[in-house]
Amino acid sequence: MTTITRQDLNFGQVVADILCEFLEVAIHLILYVREVYPSGIFQKRKKYNVPVQMSCHPELNQYIQDTLHCIKPLIEKNDAEKVVVVIMDKEHHPVERFVFEISQPPLLSISSDALLSHVEQLLRAFILKISVCDAVLNNNPPGCSFTVLVHTRDAATRNMEKVQVIKDFPWIVADEQEVHMQEPRLIPLKTMTSDIVKMQLYVEERAQKT
């Protein structure tokens, strides 16, 4: 068994690549499952060897890609502790929050090539949980939109420069009303522990959605 630090093999970049790829799939799937966008814009694809729904709308795809492109440096530096997909009602109050908690170990123990395939299996389980999460969630009101929040380990303002990687895709500090939800119902979906990353997904659902 070899022990590799975060600096070796550009470990942070590998983790960021894996997580951003996963988050892209997860965001598309959440938007489909929670009916934030019309199902007509989604197409069935295969990822992690399971069927997923991906948007085929160029503008939405670009928005998601830009968002994740900006988040990547934070994940790479292990500065992001939570990535939250917030579904908001017409009044921009959150009705659901899909919270991805991310924790990366300071040391990495790699034993074999099986490492990444093991991670893929774990990520697949997340995707499967998301695809059936509508069974445990209440319907959202019509006219919902979404946003992605990133909780950083340090003060947000210190990380602003890191996320401003796309010129015309600025980031701002979220409003209090976008973050806090009244009487949320907590629904744990999945937790994974691997050698390279630990991740936990849960949903906070507003008790009264309408």
Partner 1 sequence: MEDVVLHYRPGSVAGLSSLLETTEKLLEAFPCRTPPVFTSWFPTSATDRLPIRPAKPAPVITSSANLLISDNNRLHTHTAAAKTCELQKTKDGVSERHDDCAGSETIRSPDEKTQKSKDALCISETPNHLLPLSAYNKPESRITRLSPEKQPQKDKDGFTATDCPVKRCWRVCTQRGVVLQSSQLLSKQFHHMVSIHSLHLRQRAKWVISEDNCGAANSIEEVWQTLSRSVRNTRLPTCNVNIQRERAEIWVFCDVLYSEQVGRFLKNELQLTGKISLSVHRLGNVFSM
Residue environment code for 12-35, b if the CB has 16+ CB neighbours within 10 A, otherwise e: beebbebbbebbbbbbbbbbbbbe
Closer to partner 1 by CB, 45 or 180: give it.
180
Q: How far apart are CA 70 and CA 170, in angstroms?
A: 9
How many residues appear in the chain? 210
Q: Output 51 or 170, the one with its CB closest to partner 1.
A: 170
Q: How far is the CB of 78 from partner 1 (least distance, A)?
A: 13
Least distance (Å) between residue 22 CB and partner 1? 18
Residue 71 and residue 150 in contact, taking contact as beta carbons nearer than 8 Å: yes
Contact 38, 139 (CB under 8 A): no
Do the Cβ atoms of 81 and 103 come closer than 8 Å?
yes
Residue 119 or 199 having the CB closest to partner 1: 199
Beta carbon of residue 117, minimum distance to partner 1 (angstroms, whole number): 25
Q: At what angle do helices 11-33 and 114-131 cross, to 10 degrees?
A: 20
Instruction: Give least dist CB 179 to partner 1, A.
Output: 6
Cα–Cα distance between 54 and 44 in angstroms, integer? Answer: 6
User: Which residue, 113 or 175, has its beta carbon nearer to partner 1?
Assistant: 175
Closest to partner 1 by CB, 7 vs 142, is 142
Least distance (Å) from partner 1 to the CB of residue 155?
A: 6
**DSSP, res 84:** E
> What residues make contact with partner 1 under the rule CB under 8 A?
35, 37-41, 56-60, 63, 66-67, 70, 81-82, 84, 90-92, 99, 101, 103, 142-152, 154-156, 159-160, 163, 168-176, 178-180, 186, 188, 200, 202
